[in-house]
Amino acid sequence: MGKQTGFLEYERIENKEIPVDIRIRGYEEFHIRSSEAVRRNQGARCMNCGVPFCQSAMQLSGMVVGCPLHNLIPEWNDSIYRGEDAHALARLLKTNRFPEFTGRVCPALCEKACICGQYDDPVTVKDNEFFLIEKGYEKGWMRSNPPSRESGKKAAVIGSGPSGLACADALRRRGHAVTVYEREDRIGGLLMYGIPNMKLDKSVLARRQKLMEEEGVVFRTGVNIGEKMKVSRLKKEYDAVILCCGAKRPRALAAEGLEGAEGVYFAVDFLKAATKNVLGIETLQESMNAKGRNVVVVGGGDTGNDCIGTVIRMGCKSVTALEMMPKPPLTRTPNNPWPEWPKTLRTDYGHQEAIKLFGADPRVFKTTVKKALTKDGRISEITTVEVSFAGGKLTETPGSEKTIPCDLLLIAAGFLGAEKSLPEAFGLAMTQRGVVATPEGSYASSVPGVFAAGDMRRGQSLVVWALAEGRACAAEVDEYLMGYRNS
């Protein structure tokens, strides 16, 4: 603990943001890095707890508390305070090999479990992490480090999202020859085409790809396993195959009039098309363009928020966000004490932008779409209805129907599991949740030599969980290939 009174002397100062009226004019990242002096003081706020819940990832009340990567947070916060940034980065990279992703998009489970946050504001762990990794790239500390020995074993990783990248990185560091197959034209999975550019600039992915390629990881994009490459050939050429394909099967809405209506899209498809348009890869089709349109987003998670931020930048006429769950409280309730994840209202960047632009919070809680109306084949209005959950069933409130204009409907209502084609091609057992079945605490599928990690194994989750899964899966694959575990 570098400064024993740091948490008493310094207030929490987060990275500033570009003002809303400026940032919505484009798709550039909008967070502004604080000065080194600010970061030193923020590092000094860390209390070096005897039991640091921030890095524990323990189960409390059915929820995980703290970081699933078990980042050594008090150690590198102390080093930041002391100005030992290279050492701090080394300690961060020991547990998290991709802080350029988590430092931008993670909801910071660590901060919600920070003891400073019990009575005051938590330490700026996420901003400190972002500071370290970006300084590491600027100073040339982030250099390729190929393995000194080759194992002679070959592994194929299918999918280049966070779990696939983490798995490939760990396996390559053990000396295995690793090839990552990606069906899209660029690597990253949802990091590339599911998270908008203003939240994660795609140059960050290109920078990491270059580093991994220098270390010997081979990326093959535009390869849809099962079509361009047969599963039988893959299993023959590689000693192990790891499936990291995500859980991208979207949940549809059971509303009258949606089927076949133009202007109705799943959020993942919309965000993918929008990002390709921003990058100049493909022109956005007119039916997806939100400019001048009344947009309704169904779903209150991160994906729904990203849709709000995107349609605002396109120049939408209005945006409404429907959420089936009740509005969360502003502060913790007695049955949700620290260090549990706070079940409180979170107003993210997209909501903030909508409030600034249109003068009101776009979210409407306890509400969903009941019926869609079309004009010349395109959606023009929707009828909404208030709902509640009783006995595990969704119940409509009689007489609560409202009709609002809607020229573009984006469905961000979650996912139903992994796409079925690849697991079926491998002959894998699946769970009732639609993900690959593995034994408790294991990443091995029902087919020898085939493993699964990330959302494809645990279901829709966070980037930080995908990274943790990829790393843990790689350790199991390494033991399978070598006959022992390097602990």
The pLDDT of residue 453 is above 90: yes
Q: Are 461 and 435 in contact (CB under 8 A)?
A: no
**164, 169, 173, 176 alpha-carbon torsion, rounded to 10°:** 40
pTM above 0.85, yes or no: yes
pLDDT confidence of residue 419 = 94
- Cα 446 to chain centroid distance, Å, stands at 27
Structural domain boundaries enclosing 375: 264-411
Same-domain pairing of 280 and 402: yes
Dist CA 71 CA 113 (whole Å): 13
Question: Regarding beta strands 63-65 and 58-60, do their DSSP bridges make them parallel or antiparallel, or are they unpaired?
Answer: antiparallel
Mean pLDDT of 12-30: 97
Token pair listed for 328: 């969360």
Same-domain pairing of 459 and 320: no
- 237 located within any domain: yes
Same-domain pairing of 128 and 203: no
Which of 150, 146, 239 lies closest to 477 in space, CA to CA? 239
Same-domain pairing of 174 and 128: no
Q: Reduced to 3 states, what is the DSSP secondary structure of residue 311?
A: helix
Same-domain pairing of 441 and 357: no
**pLDDT level of residue 32 (50, 70, 90 thresholds):** very high
Mean pLDDT of 148-169: 98
Q: What angle do CA 443, 161, 213 make, to 5 degrees?
A: 105
Question: Regarding beta strands 393-396 and 378-390, do their DSSP bridges make them parallel or antiparallel, or are they unpaired?
Answer: antiparallel
Same-domain pairing of 393 and 288: yes
Q: Which residue has the higher pLDDT, 61 or 187?
A: 187
**pLDDT level of residue 2 (50, 70, 90 thresholds):** low
pLDDT confidence of residue 48 = 86
Q: Tokens 């310094």 — which residue?
A: 10
User: Please, what is the average pLDDT of the chain?
Assistant: 95
- 254 located within any domain: no
- 149 located within any domain: no
The total number of structural domains that make up the chain: 3
- Among residues 111, 138, 165, the one where a domain terminates is 138
Which of 304, 331, 332, 335 lies closest to 320 in space, CA to CA? 304
- Among residues 394, 411, 428, the one where a domain terminates is 411
Same-domain pairing of 241 and 281: no
Mean pLDDT of 15-39: 96
Token pair listed for 152: 């002679």
pLDDT confidence of residue 63 = 86
Which of 148, 247, 239 lies closest to 194 in space, CA to CA? 247
pLDDT confidence of residue 1 = 63
What CATH number is given to the structural domain containing 288? Answer: 3.50.50.60
**pLDDT level of residue 487 (50, 70, 90 thresholds):** low
- 258 located within any domain: no
Same-domain pairing of 128 and 161: no
Q: What is the pLDDT of residues 188-247, one digit of tens each?
A: 999 999 999 999 999 999 999 999 999 999 999 999 998 878 999 999 999 999 999 999
- 36 located within any domain: yes
Q: Reduced to 3 states, what is the DSSP secondary structure of residue 373?
A: strand
- 64 located within any domain: yes
- Among residues 378, 411, 444, the one where a domain terminates is 411
Instruction: Tell how many helices (H) and how many strands (E) occur in the chain.
Output: 19, 18
Same-domain pairing of 54 and 71: yes
- 148 located within any domain: no
What CATH number is given to the structural domain containing 34? Answer: 1.10.1060.10
Token pair listed for 399: 């007489």
- 257 located within any domain: no
Q: What is the pLDDT of residues 387-441, one digit of tens each?
A: 998 888 889 999 999 999 999 999 999 999 999 999 999 999 999 999 999 999 9
Same-domain pairing of 438 and 327: no
The pLDDT of residue 127 is above 80: yes
Question: Regarding beta strands 318-323 and 294-298, do their DSSP bridges make them parallel or antiparallel, or are they unpaired?
Answer: parallel
DSSP state of 233: H
Same-domain pairing of 271 and 204: no
Q: What is the pLDDT of residues 350-364, one digit of tens each?
A: 999 999 999 999 999
Dist CA 120 CA 327 (whole Å): 24
Same-domain pairing of 400 and 274: yes
Q: Tokens 């250099």 — which residue?
A: 143
